């Protein structure tokens, strides 16, 4: 019986595949004209680990990683490639050195906050500090203060970080404002990441005057702003910290205070006991704006 047209086509296809070889036939696959519907925006490279291990980070900051566990903390908090990131009161830039390059490498955005320089009582020092921070890290800042405006357009930020700032905002009387402004800036489902000196397991000193804040206090304040507690971790716990230091948490590294505020350092002060403790015991909390 003579072959049908379909049979002849299959025979021809077999001849072609035999000529071009099995590897090429496998490469063509069953759907040679198919394209991936959604190719990943990023490859398998670990941008976060690379940012943490970057030699461009200041040596004094890298030396603190044993206490601050940046890779583990940021992984717990859930920062993602491409996130719009806002860091509140970044201080010396420990987290900025990691998060600003991470955002740049992954197509995200990083913004820090600085002193509110648009108020009549803005200090020249505050203006200089804000300008120096922007220049050093090549980032943009927004104002944060008692009377500052919104941190960002509503619902446009994915990830907000505050590290060791809550006791300061308590002392300055605008903790609730900062949390409310953060809630407004975050998109639904966005994360507020908190690192803070922890008073527990002893009562918090009035106003957290020694720098240690209770977890329950922080959680209650965040809930007032509308946040839900989404996770807590012991990544930054330090059980060796008795929290009974003569100059509060600032007695410990890295501040190593040796005299009351406003007085010159005491050269006779023995730091050895406090250096052996290391940095403070800290809470590590993840809050989320309800979707």
Segment 61-102, tens digit of pLDDT: 999 999 999 999 999 999 999 999 999 999 999 999 999 999
Specify which residues 113 forms β-bridges with.
142
pLDDT digit string (tens) for 111-138? 999 999 888 888 888 889 999 999 999 9
CA–CA gap between residue 84 and residue 111 (Å, rounded): 8
- What is the CATH T-level fold of the domain 58-288, as seen in this structure? Rossmann fold (3.40.50)
pLDDT digit string (tens) for 266-280? 999 999 999 999 999
More confident call, 199 vs 31: 199
The CA distances from residue 281 to 19, 213, 215, 240, 271, in Å, are: 70, 11, 12, 8, 18
**pLDDT, mean of residues 30-55:** 64
So where are the chain's domains? 58-288
**pLDDT, mean of residues 187-201:** 98
Q: pTM for this one? A: 0.84
**pLDDT, mean of residues 175-181:** 98
Angle at 141 between CA 140 and CA 144, to 5 degrees: 170
CA–CA gap between residue 113 and residue 106 (Å, rounded): 21
Q: What is the pLDDT at residue 43?
A: 54
Q: Which of 58, 62, 59 is nearest to 71 (CA)?
A: 62
Residue 26 clears pLDDT 70, i.e. is over it: no
DSSP 188-252: EEEEEEEEEEB-TTSPPPGGGTTS-B-HHHHHHHHHHTT-EEEEEE-TT--TT--S--TTGGGGS
CA–CA gap between residue 257 and residue 270 (Å, rounded): 11
The three-state secondary structure class of 37 is coil
Cβ of 250: how many Cβ atoms within 10 Å?
18
CA–CA gap between residue 137 and residue 73 (Å, rounded): 21
Percent of the chain with pLDDT over 70: 85
Which tokens in the block code for residue 200?
């527990």
**pLDDT, mean of residues 13-29:** 37
Residue 7 clears pLDDT 50, i.e. is over it: no
Residue 24 clears pLDDT 80, i.e. is over it: no
Q: What is the pLDDT at residue 79?
A: 96
**pLDDT, mean of residues 193-216:** 97
The backbone torsions φ and ψ at residue 199, rounded to the nearest 5 degrees and listed phi first, read -75, -35
Mean pLDDT, the chain, integer: 88
């Amino acid at each position: 019986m003579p072959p049908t047209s379909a049979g002849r086509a299959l025979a021809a296809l077999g001849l072609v595949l035999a000529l071009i070889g099995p590897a090429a036939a496998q490469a063509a696959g069953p759907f040679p004209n198919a394209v991936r519907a959604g190719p990943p925006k990023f490859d398998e490279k670990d941008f976060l680990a690379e940012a943490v291990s970057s030699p461009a980070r200041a040596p004094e900051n890298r030396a603190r990683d044993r206490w601050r566990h940046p890779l583990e903390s940021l992984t717990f908090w859930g920062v993602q490639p491409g996130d719009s990131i806002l860091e509140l009161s970044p201080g010396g830039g420990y987290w900025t050195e990691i998060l600003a390059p991470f955002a740049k490498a992954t197509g995200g955005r990083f913004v820090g906050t600085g002193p509110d320089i648009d108020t009549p009582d803005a200090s020249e020092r505050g203006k200089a500090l804000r300008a120096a921070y922007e220049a050093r890290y090549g980032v943009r800042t927004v104002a944060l203060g008692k009377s500052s405006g919104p941190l960002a357009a509503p619902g446009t930020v994915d990830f907000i970080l505050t590290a060791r700032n809550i006791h300061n905002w308590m002392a300055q009387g605008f903790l609730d404002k900062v949390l409310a402004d953060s809630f407004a800036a975050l998109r639904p489902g966005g994360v507020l990441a908190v690192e803070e000196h922890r008073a527990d397991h002893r009562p918090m000193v009035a106003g957290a005057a020694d720098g240690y804040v209770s977890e329950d206090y922080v959680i209650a304040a965040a809930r007032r702003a509308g946040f839900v507690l989404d996770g807590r971790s012991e990544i930054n716990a330090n059980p060796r910290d008795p929290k009974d230091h003569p100059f509060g948490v600032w007695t410990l590294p890295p501040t190593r205070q040796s005299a009351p505020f406003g007085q010159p350092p005491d050269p006779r002060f023995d730091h050895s006991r406090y250096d052996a403790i290391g940095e403070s015991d800290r809470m590590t909390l993840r809050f989320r704006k309800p979707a």
